[in-house]
Amino acid sequence: MPRLLRLATLLACLTVAAFALPGRPAAQSATPLQDVLQTVQPQVANPSRASVPQVLAALLAADAPGTAAFLRAWAEREVYERPADGFFFYARETGARGLMLVDIDSGADVAEVTTREVNQIRPNAGVRREIGAALVSYELMHPDPARRMAALDNIARSPSADQIEPLTAARAVEQDARIAARMDRLLDLLNARFAEVPAIRIDAIEGLSGDISTEARRTLAQILQTRAEFAEAIPEGTNVARIRRLGDDMTLVAAYTTLSDAGLVPPRPGRNAIRDALRANVENGAVGGIPVHQLDTDEMRRAAYRALEAAGTVPPLVTEADMAAAVAAYVFYDAYLEPDAAVTDAARASLDETRGKVSMWQFVSISFDAISLASIFFLAAIGLAITFGVMRVINMAHGEFIMMGAYTGYVVQTIIPDYTASLIVALPLAFAVTFAAGVALERLVIRHLYTRPLETLLATFGISIALQQLAKNIFGTQARPLTAPDWLAGAIQINDVVSVASIRVAILVMALGFLLLLLFILNRTRLGLEVRAVTQNPGMAASMGINPDRINMLTFGLGSGIAGVAGVSIGMVAQVTSEMGANYIVQSFMTVVVGGVGSVFGTLAGAALIGSLQKGIEWFNPANTLAAQTYMVLFIILFIQFRPKGIVALKGRAAGD
């Protein structure tokens, strides 16, 4: 019976089963699988391509529990027959020649036997293909939607022409819209590669145009696979992908080597071959009349080789002119493995369209990365922007407040193992700890150095080193884990090109939340009014009853507290170490200066500019992030030359300074 007819018989059985209930096969029957197998016992024990359709039809029609597992085991030669009663079993090895028989229905151990007491069923390759196709059909028609979707995933991983018919039959009765859409897409992929009618293939290929999924791009790339060929003249009917030109597509040496490997021209002796020939022909301390001690350059070694060649001792040395003459007699080209030019033309056009869309989505992905990086820079810099803008204090220890916040989150996680609960506790606690540390620093050090900026810079730099060493003494030098909750793990998959880590989305939301909170504090609260007054004119603010000393203390504490919260957020995407703050202090200062000193919106604009600039440079030079940072610094220097007050210039004291 022809294979197509056998497959049609199986599909007919499945279709009848599919309509037993509306849309899907009925639930599995209670009939034991062993009883079903006994109805076709001779065909199972001695399978052939002629008898296997009868077995498969009986199994799929009965739909007994364990049918799919049996089909897989049967195909993998893991089923045994006991000749005494004709029953079938699975088995596992118990010794050198021992087997433990396992009941195919219950999975229970039955008896221990030797390999001579049972027959291992060994279906041939043709039978195994039939079983595989039937198994695909069985899974595609299964009542469980998850099983059907898993079968589709298996088809996508290992596509073949045999899957078109069962997938088409399953699609005809599929009523789940999501699964039906997946089936339609897989049919396009299979038809694009394996359909026998060229018009169907071309139509399916054109349907993949612009599809940026990995499966579609892989299918188109497989259709456009080529092989390197050469000939005196291109054979008629060859589907040529390109003609390879000397100098542009291949070197003269590579072309000649291709011909010599095919035995069409004499091999070209390389350095090792020349050296071995010279060593073999040393006579009285010379080779070809040239003393051995003079053979220290390629030119002298070739001269000695030519002398041996003139004497007929070694084969002639192939010159560049000889190679050019030999290569000129042949055409070197790449030929498509697909012989139909119309198919490859359609695939190439579809792939070009797809590459254009992939480039567009890659730009979107880079933009998401830039926004994510900008949100991290904003969180790291916003506290510095407040203290620098209001107090004009260059706080080199700002990065260590970020580090303190991250370590606070780590300590909380060691006490509260639930990551969600620990995060809820860690955020306000990190703010409280770093707020208190900032107030202490301002009261003990900063307040005495307001009029001496250089001493302030040196003092805070020394404090940053001391805080780093203190962290090393407490937590050690190894990185500590700060784990995000499960609901922040993974990524938001937009398509096969763009995905955004959930934790980075959370950091972006947190950055926006801090932006709104700061705007509310600065514009809608008494503290914000006093901060803005001190920022614009501290003398006038003092005459109006505002205590600038108190405002400076609270402002420094607020900026430090925000840095602590930023440390918890950054610690979930970076390593928590004593030096982690130093990695962000330079970017924080650049963000503040470029955006505009003391301006919240300026800090936001500066973070967006620096994040976009860094990711944009990395896109053009992804292998060298250090170069990207170097170019970014150079750009910032040039930017400040033309706009020294930043993107958003602040009015008042900061502007005057």
pLDDT digits (tens, 9 = 90+) for 100-120: 889 988 888 888 888 888 898
- Distances 337 to 156, 193, 218, 241, 341 between C-alpha atoms, Å: 22, 12, 15, 10, 10
* pLDDT band for position 29 (cuts 50, 70, 90): low
Confidence of residue 440 (pLDDT cuts 50, 70, 90): very high
Per-residue pLDDT at 259 exceeds 80: yes
* Highest mean pLDDT: which range of 384-398, 434-448, 539-553: 434-448
Output DSSP code: residue 335.
Answer: E
Q: Which residues contact 359 (CB under 8 A, 6 or more apart)?
A: none
DSSP code, position 28: P
Across 197-206, average pLDDT? 90
56 vs 54: CA distance, rounded Å: 6
What is the number of H-type helices and E-type strands within the chain? 27, 12
Percent of the chain clearing pLDDT 90 (strictly above) = 13
For residues 627-656, average pLDDT: 71
DSSP-assigned beta bridge partners for residue 491: 501
Residues 321-348 have pLDDT tens digits of 888 888 889 999 999 999 999 999 999 9
Beta strand segments in 78-180, E: 80-82, 87-93, 98-103, 109-114, 119-120
Mean pLDDT, rounded, for 474-487:
85
Taking the C-alpha atoms of residue 31 and residue 627, their distance in angstroms, rounded to an integer, is 70
Largest alpha-carbon pair distance within the chain?
A: 110
**Token duo for residue 490:** 């993974």
Residues 542/548, Cβ–Cβ less than 8 Å: yes
Q: Evaluate whether 442 touches 557 at the Cβ level (below 8 Å).
A: yes
pLDDT (mean) for 444-458: 83
> Would you say residue 8 has pLDDT above 50?
no
| Window from 73-77, 133-137, 214-218, 285-289 with minimum mean pLDDT | 133-137
Question: For residue 208, is pLDDT > 70?
Answer: yes
Confidence of residue 656 (pLDDT cuts 50, 70, 90): very low
DSSP letter at 30 equals S
The span from the CA of 221 to the CA of 209, in Å, is: 12
Mean pLDDT of 133-154: 80
* Measured distance CA(9)–CA(107) in Å, rounded: 31
Question: What does the CA dihedral 533, 538, 541, 547 come to, rounded to 10 degrees?
Answer: 100
Residue 587 has what pLDDT? 80
With 80 as the cut, is the pLDDT of residue 86 above it?
yes
Q: Is 334 helix (H, G, I), strand (E, B) or coil?
A: strand
The closest alpha carbon to 397, from 459, 317, 335, belongs to: 459
Kindly state the tokens that stand for 570: 């950054």
Reading the block at residue 475, the tokens are 């937590």
Contact in structure between 293 and 287 (CB atoms under 8 Å):
no
Say if CB 89 and CB 101 are below 8 A apart. yes
| Phi/psi of residue 649, nearest 5 degrees | -75, 135
CA–CA separation, 91 and 109 (whole Å): 9
Mean pLDDT of 222-235: 91
Predicted confidence band at 9 (pLDDT cuts at 50, 70, 90)? Answer: very low
Radius of gyration of the CA atoms of the chain, in A = 38
pLDDT band, very low/low/confident/very high, at 569 (cuts 50, 70, 90) = confident
> 332 with 283: CB under 8 angstroms?
no
Percent over 70 (pLDDT), the chain: 92
Place of tokens 């700060």: 482
Q: Is the pLDDT of residue 624 over 70?
A: no
Distances (CA, A) of 183 to 121, 160, 211, 216: 34, 14, 16, 14
Asked whether the predicted pLDDT for residue 33 surpasses 50, the reply is yes
- End-to-end distance of the chain based on CA atoms, in angstroms? 94
Identify which has the larger pLDDT, 182 or 651.
Answer: 182
pLDDT for position 625: 63
3-state SS record for 266-285: CCCCCHHHHHHHHHHCCECC
pLDDT band at 626 (very low <50, low <70, confident <90, very high): low
Cβ atoms 592, 394 nearer than 8 A: no
pLDDT at 575: 82
**pLDDT for position 30:** 67
Average pLDDT over the chain, rounded to an integer: 82
pLDDT of residue 596: 77
Which amino acid belongs to residue 329?
A
CA distance 177 to 190: 20
**Phi, psi of 397, rounded to the nearest 5 degrees:** -90, 5
Q: Which residues pair with 291 in a beta bridge?
A: 286
Q: Please list, in sequence order, all residues whose beta carbon lies within 8 angstroms of the beta carbon of residue 630, skipping any fewer than 6 positions away.
A: none
Mean pLDDT, residues 83-90 taken together: 90
pLDDT category, 320, cuts 50, 70, 90? confident
Q: Would you give the DSSP letter of residue 156?
A: H
Reading the block at residue 77, the tokens are 């030669």
Q: In this structure, are residues 419 and 506 in contact, taking their beta carbons and an 8 Å threshold?
A: no
pLDDT in tens, 510-545: 888 888 888 888 788 888 788 777 777 777 878 888
- Judge whether residue 22 has pLDDT over 50: no
- Coil/strand/helix, residue 213: coil
Task: Spell out the alpha helix ranges (H) of 489-599.
Answer: 502-524, 526-536, 538-543, 548-571, 582-595
Instruction: With a cut of 80, say whether residue 412 has pLDDT above it.
Output: yes
Alpha-carbon distance of 42 to 83, in angstroms, equals: 11
What CA–CA distance (Å, rounded) separates 13 from 19? 10
The Cα–Cα gap between 126 and 123 comes to 8
